[in-house]
Structures are given as structure tokens and as C-alpha cells.
Structure 1
Amino acid sequence: MTVDDLRLRVPGRVDDPVRLQALRATGLLDADSATSLDRLTRLATRLVQAPVALVSLVDSDRQVFVSAVGLAEPWASRGQTPLTHSFCQYVVTDQAPLVIDDARADGRLCGNLAIPDLNVIAYAGFPLRSPDGQVLGSFCAIDGRPRQWSATEVEILRDLAANAESEIALHVAHGDLLLSSARMQTVLETAQDAFVSMDQEGRVTTWNDAAERLFGWPEAEAVGRRATELLIPQRFHDAHRAGLARVRRSGESRLAGQRLELTAVDRAGREFPIEMTMQMGQERGRPVFHAFLHDITERHQLAVQREQLLEQQQQQVRRLREIDQMRDEFIAMVIHELRNPIGVIQGYTEMLVADPDLTEHIRGELAVIDRTSGRLTQLVDDLLDLARLDGGQIGIDTAPLQPAALIHDAVHAHQGAAANRQITLTEDIGPLPVINGEARRLQQVVDNLLSNALKYTLPGGTVAVTARGDGGGVVLTIVDSGIGIPAEQYPRLFDRFFRASTATERGIKGTGLGLAVTKAIIEAHHGTITAGPGPDRGTCFTVTLPGDGDRPDDRAS
């Protein structure tokens, strides 16, 4: 059986990847000889009277002498041999001690080149395991002549191997610590935030590159100095010292774990806001502090800008409210100032029209005055309605009503105007449920929509009124074949004083208040109104009015 066969059949073989990884983790393969291990190998040669003692770590293709006492040249200088010259590899493959009195008589070892080249005749080797149990190599004693190892000598070598194993474990732990420290140092050096550590007296013990950039002090000047000299404004020194004293007395910090906004000062004396996250730990029974800090000047500037913007917005809101109040006061004044003279004009017009001696020409002029004063009256009423609805001064006095009759009456009332304009006005009113509403206001809604439809429909056109029940409520649709509205203007159609460009271009008169009043009345009934293109160029208005079960509680509105 060859050595390669043994590697494949024995657990923990030489080239096992897990074992090799543990071997490299020791950091000893290419390191200088460890002094502590040299003491053990020297002790071994004295105690068992062997000329050679080794600490040998077995790699995949070589054995490395981490410590060697009494080894002949050139092997002592080389510090390693190929596995063709290694007995230690069998300790690894067997994962057990190997004690040989005369290797030349051993069937497995007699052909090993360590016998002629290194004069290895008697051998006693013991496994060296890693902290996780992997056999890394052996601690061995070698004699160049046959000898029978006594039980005492075997026990001595076993104890020395255990000590060597402990030394290797310490070396691994030290390497892990160095690796962790280097990793942490890399993190701190590349961190964007400043990192500062202090002892219980407030002296800086750690100061990374970001701290140097932030505060202007290089690490060589910062470490060992008090934080009050480096980053804390003068006016806060007493509070800082008092806080440290409190921590020393109590062993607790009220600031640990919190995200704090503080004022710092740099080397040039510039004060600026920082955010600090600090943790407190214990080293040798004394408190230490570790803090991450970063400049939040930009955040403060943005906060100031937001506050300024908010103040500007609040000023604008106050100004708009003032303007709204001025508008309401103006509207109230206009209504008051117009209502009386309009009433006088209408009264005198009626009185003059009653004179039987008036000529037809004069009667025609009086009719113009009557129509004009009527339009002014309607304008004043619309303004008054909007002002009252906005101010919540108009309460909708609801009562059960039959909408079908109300809609039919409104259509019938407009048939004369439709005939005069040669417009076909039709109605299709299905069975409608009884709803709650104020009849006079809903009559006003239907009248406004019908007057609007007739006004903007050309002779020969149509206006169709449809009403259907819908889930206990009513859906009213009025569709005309009129001049229509540009699509982009529909969102503004219910704004006060807005008039579609198609109406103004044709010189059709209007105030732009009727639809605003109509929408206000419908919303006061908890309904909705929408407008969109009709099927034949014109406009389609859709009104929905809820039934009793759909209407929100007035107390919540």
C-alpha cells in the first residue's frame, strides 16, 4: 500500500482542504521560528536524551519545521523537506502518535528517504491539533540509532506535545486578533464618519482619518490629548468634565446609545453642528467611550430653509385668507349696492310698461331694460348664493321629495325657450326613488343645467334629459349637441367666472357663475356633478344624488 492510497482511505488525510485551511490559519508555515516552541524542543532533547527534536507542520507537499533542535544541515537552514523525507505525515494521516524503534525494520517506513538523508532511525511523534481538532503536524524526537522508547519518555514527549499544541493555539488566537484588529483598523480608516475613542479622563485613544478631516487635528497630535482641547467648545467644557466625573462614580452613561446633535469646534475655531452616536464600554475595569460623529451643517441649513419656506407659505396662506375675506366683503358690498338700484329700475320699468299710451318703440326699449335688469338680478343672486354656501350660511332644508316630478316640471318649463330657438328638448325619466333634498334648490340645479344646454346649442340641435334610479339614488344626465368645450378646459368648468373659449369666441354672454352655484348646491346634498364630451360634439352633464341609505350623517359633514 502506498502513502497516496493511505491518504485516500484514512480520515484527516494530508491534503484534506479543511485541514490545510486550519494549517494556514496558524500563520506559522512561512514565519520565523517561534521562541516558545524552541524552548520545548530543547527541553525534549534534554529530557529524553534524543539528538533531534522537531515541531513539524505538514502541508500538502512538504513538512515545515517550525522549531528544530539538533537537525543536520542543509535541512536545518532550509527549514523544510518534501514529504518523501517525512515521518510526520503518518502522524497526520493516522491522527495518532507514531513511535518507532527502528524505521529500517518498519514495512511502511523502510523506504522513506528520511532514513538515509536525515538519519532518522528511531522516531517518536505526537499529533499537534488545531483548536478545531484538525491534525496539523507532530511534535517529535529523533535518534540516529535504534532505541526502545521507554514509557516515561513517551509520556514526557506527549506532555511536551500538549504544551506545543497550546502554544500553536495561542499563536492562532493572536493571529485572529491581529486580523480582526487590522480589519477594524481598515474600517475605521475608510469610514466616512469621524471615529473617536476616549478614556475615563476624556483623553483621546483613537482618532481616524475622518476625524482628522473633520476637526483638522492629525492623529499624532490628537491621541493623548483631552477632547476639550480638540473638538468641544469652551463653553461646554465644564459640562463635559462633570459628565465624565458622573460616569466614573456611577459606572453608567446617560448618553450611551443615543443619537445626539451637538456643537463642535475644529482646529481653526469654527463651530458647527454634529451628530454623535456614542457607546460606553469597560477596559480593565475602567470606562471607555467610542463615538461616531459627522457634520450636519448641511442638514441644519436645509432645516432653516424649510422653516423659512414654511413661514413664507404660512404668510401666503394668511394673505390668501385676507384676500378671500376682502373678496367676500367686496361681494357683500356689491350685492348690497346693486340690489336696491336694480329693484328701483325693475319697479319703474313695470310702472312704465303699464302705461297704455306707450308707443311700441318705447315698449321695446323698456323690454331691453327689463331683460338687462333681470340678468343683473340673476348675477346678484348667484353671487349671494355662492357667498352663503361658502360661508356655510345656507342650510339645505331637506325633506322627502319625488325627483321625477321635479325634473319633468323643469323640462316642461323650458320647452317654450327650446321651441323659440328651434331646439328639440326631450326627456326620458324612468321610475325614480324618493330622495331627501330641498326641492327649490334642486329645481335651481335642473334649471341652470337646462338653461346652459339651450344657450350653447345652435338652432336645429337637441337637448336630451335622462333620469334613472341607481342603488336607492338618482342619476340625472343632460346631453346637448351644442358647441362643446375643449377637452383641456373641462377641469376648470365649475370654477367661478370661468367661461369656455368656445363660448367667448362666439360672443355668448354669461357670468361664469351658474355652474359654480350648481356644483355647490349638489355637494351640499352630498351628490356629485361631472362634465364631459357628449356623443355628438356637445357636452354631457351627469348629476348623482344619493338615496337615504347612501347619504352621510349631517352631523359628520
Structure 2
Amino acid sequence: MHEELPEIGGRIPGAADALKRERDRLRHIVEALTQIASLNLPTMQFLDRVVHRVMELTSAIGAVVELVDGDELEYAAVTGSIERFKGLRLQRSRSLSGRCVDHRALQYSLDTETDDRVNLEACRAIGARSMMLVPLSHMGESIGVLKVVSDRPGAFDETDEYALRLCAGLVGSSIGRQVMLDENRRLLDDRSAAWTQATTVFNASPIATVVHDLDGTVRMWNDAAAALFGWTSDEAVGHPPPYLADSDMPRFTEISQRIMREGTAATEIVRRSRRDGTVLELRVSGAPLRDTGGEVVGIVRTMEDVTDQRQHGSALKAAAERLRHIIEHSPHAFISMDASGRVLEWNNSAEAMFGWTRREAIFRPLHELVIPPDAHDAHLRGVKHHLDTRESRIIGRPVEVVARHKDGTEFPIDLTINMAEVDGQPVYDAFLENASERRTEMDSLRQQASLDMLTQLPNRERFHAAVKAALERRGGERNRVAVVLVNLDGFRAINDLLGHAAGDALLQAAAERLVGVVREQDIVARLGGDEFGVLLDGLRDARRAAPVVAGKLLAAFDEQVVLRTATLPLQASVGVAVHEYERDDVEAMLHVAVEAMRRAKRAGGHRVEVLVREHQPD
């Protein structure tokens, strides 16, 4: 939930009647709280008025101000269905109210029956099925909570939160104002008897404090004020406040007159300059200073430097906006899921990847949108296991899983999940990328890595792997596999005489002729230079068939090769090795084929040699 005024137009586009009702409701809230803020009542009367108004402005059946008292919180001002519980005391450590005080953050229990943060016994006693709490604070200290309850689960919305936060601000200011006024009155009443003590306390205060009389002349200026603004007490006392520019005087006078006239405190954020010219943003609280007879004789102003706080807040807001923009326009899909499995965030790339619009996806169970049906149970078990143990095999690690498009198409994705806790509950954020293109690219790269780029035939590595696979596939079944090596005769001389372009053309022509001879299941590879390898697998009788195939391969080189610049003879020497022994491996087969091919070369070339081994290799 956000502290800013809800952007109604963005939430309910096109619903003009709902937009008007929501705006009227917000206007009513602002007007009502403005009236409350103008009241000049004792603190408890003011709190009673606030809780009555809070119940009217929200969906509550009861409202209460709880004030901190040591380790407990007391129901100080109560109205509605829980009015009879005024004076009830709750343990801070066992209640959502205590959590709100300790964490200084809004707490919302959608359903107290299922929320382990609440004191269920107390909730049942007051009839609270859902409740929303905001902290009350003064001078940075938590002093209590403002709470609304309903007998329905999930009764409160963002507008209720907005009204509750505004009311909490009024309550905190009222209590803080009363504390400050009481303290100042006590100091003034005891001034004659404890002036030295009061001056010591005044100067020791870490909060910049200035006391001036009715015409604006500074009468007291503590050390914190000197440190904040750069003027010493001697320089400031007896003069108008030195931090005021001429343009500041009208507003300063107006607020001073209001404090004197109404006798109430006033707080505002202003910009003031230090002695060195540095501009500060200050939270200034002003209260009347009275004599022992109750007459207003001056004004006490406390000033807190909130420059860093406001700049930090602006920076955080800007950073959050930048982060939302980055996520929204990220090329990777981004999905956020709460502990119940509902989708919290769904960016543009998620819409494109899965086909579901953000409006369709938000608050839907994630598994219904992107997880294949046969994986639903595994997903839900995994989420439950992490909730129970905080252990996961995939959080923080990139993994590949199968996802499902809105149209039912399934496809692989690369998934990276991270988890963060919000109000003690895990929120899962995931970046997702379609892995189909990566797989295609990797397959293409693997294919390219195993091909000879000139002839587009398998290369040496792929040929070796194919021979190994064929031998393993046949196992002890011998005489079914043969390896044929083809080496072009006179290629080096042609390459040197006519150049590499002609040599490349010859190699391509040789590759085409070899492929044209063998069966579709046989493999022709370029092993390097002018050497080719042929794997013959699944032969009935390799000793008989391999020489026949080798002869056909040799015959493929009978015709000359016609190039653009010349017509050249193309001849080859062919060596054959047959899988004859159970212990034959790739190296043994290639060694035999190479030796057979060399014999063909030595015999004058352009012939086939089959090397018959008499003994099994060691």
C-alpha cells in the first residue's frame, strides 16, 4: 500500500461513476480531517472525536487508539462495536499492535483467523475478522497505534489506508503537541525556582529550540540551534531570528499570530538558510509560551533538520520509479508472486511471452497461467516446502524449465528466481527468458563446430565420434563395419600450380562425387587437407561389400573436373579397413585404413587397397 493519494484514474479506467464516487470519498475524508485538525480540545476529547470520525470514514465497525504503556498497549479511546473494551490491555509481544509499534509500519490483517501475527483470542473477543493498524509517533518515538476493525475478512482498501494514515498523523501531532505544551508549561511554572536547571535542559536538548517574545525578538537560543544555523546564542539573542529572510517574515508573523491568538501548537515544513548560505528543510513546531498567570508571553519553536530525510525520500521514490520503469521495459519477462502463489507483478515482456495481459494476470494463481498442467502439483509442493523450510533447489540459481503459453503451447524458458521478505512473508521475483532461440543457436553452433566449412561435410572429430558409435553399437558383432580413406592423388601440385581457389573447387567436387556414391546412412567426412573418410555401417559382410563400395568410390574420380579456368583430372588412392576383431577401436580402424591407403599410393595411386590383418591387435 502507498502513502500517496491513490491514482484513481489509473486504477479504474473507463468507470466514470466509480471514479466520481472515489473522488467524492477522498474529498469527504480530507474535509472531515481538516475539521478535526482545527479542533482545540483536550487530548482525550480529541482522541474520542478522531476514533468516531475514523469509523465513519472507513469500512470499520470499530476504531481504537491504543497507547504504549511499558510492555503493554492500553485501549485509550474506543468507539463502535468495541467501545465496551475501553481500558483493555494487550501484550506488545503477542499482538499485531505490538508489531505495528515495534516496526513503526502499517500492519494489515486480511483475515485474523489465518494470520499468525495476531492475538487470535483478543481478536475473537472484540469480533475483529480483519483489521488495519498504523503507528502513532512523536519526535521519532512510537507512542501507540490507531486501529480499525471489521467483522468481515479483507474489509479495508487503499482509501481506508489513506484516511487512517491522515488520522494517525493528527493523533500523533495532538499527543505530541500536548506533551510539548505540558513540558513547556511545567518548565515555565518552575522557572523562578529552577531557572538554572531549565537552562541546562534547554541547552542540552538535541533539538534546535528558539524562544522569542511576541514581537519576534529572540530571547533563548540553545546549543542545538547554534549548531544547526551557525549563529551563537550571543549573536542571536536580542534580535529577530537570523535565519529569516525578508521574504520569510510574512509567513513567520502569520503563524506566530495564530499561535498567540489560538493558543495552540503549529507544525509545518519550511526552508531556511544557515549562516553559510546552505538551505535547509526544517520541520518547525511552534507553541505558545505562557507566564504563571496563563498569559501568552512568547513562542517556543523547535526545529528538526529533515533535509536528508526528504531528499532521501525523494531519491527513494525516484529510484523506485526508475526500477519500475526498468522492469516494465525489460527485454526479459518479470513476474512477482506472493506466498499464496498469486501474481503481484507482470511486465510487458511477460505479456508478450505468455499471451496474458497484466490485467488478466494480476492476483491470479501463477500455476494457472504459465505452468503446464502436469507440473502443477510439483510447483505447489515446491512452494509449500520453501514456506515450511526456507529451502529450495532453484531459488538463486538459473534453471531451465518448461512453460505454457495462453494458447496451450509449451516452450522452454531460462528462469532465475530470487526471494525477499515483506512483512515477514516471502515474495518471489523471477526473470524469465524464452530458451527456444538459445537452444536453436546452440544447436547451430554445435552443428557448425562439427562441419568442414569448405565442403559442408562432417569434420574429423565428428567422423571419429561416428566410427566409435558404430563400433559400440555393433559390440561383438564383427564384419559389419568398414572404414574407407580416400586421398586425392596429385592434389598438392594442382593447388600449388593453379592456386587455392582451384584446389578448393577440386575438394568440393570430390566431396560431391563421394556423397553421390554411398548410401544415405553412410557418412562421408573431410578429415583434413586432401583426405576424406567414409564410414560404412550395417553391412552384411564387410569383407566382401567394403571393397566393392571402395571401387565405386574410386570410379567416381574417372571423369575430369571442369573448372572455370581449366579442366583437370581427379584421381585418388583408396584404403579400406574392416572391423574384424572385437577389440578394434577407432584408432585401430583408422590406422589400418591409413596403411592400406599408403600402399595404394606406393603402388602408383588411383587404386584400392584392402589391408587384411592376420592377427588381432594387442
Q: TM-score, normalised on structure 2?
A: 0.33
Higher relative contact order (CA 8 A, sep 6+): 1
Report the TM-score, using the length of structure 1 for normalisation. 0.36
Higher strand share: 2
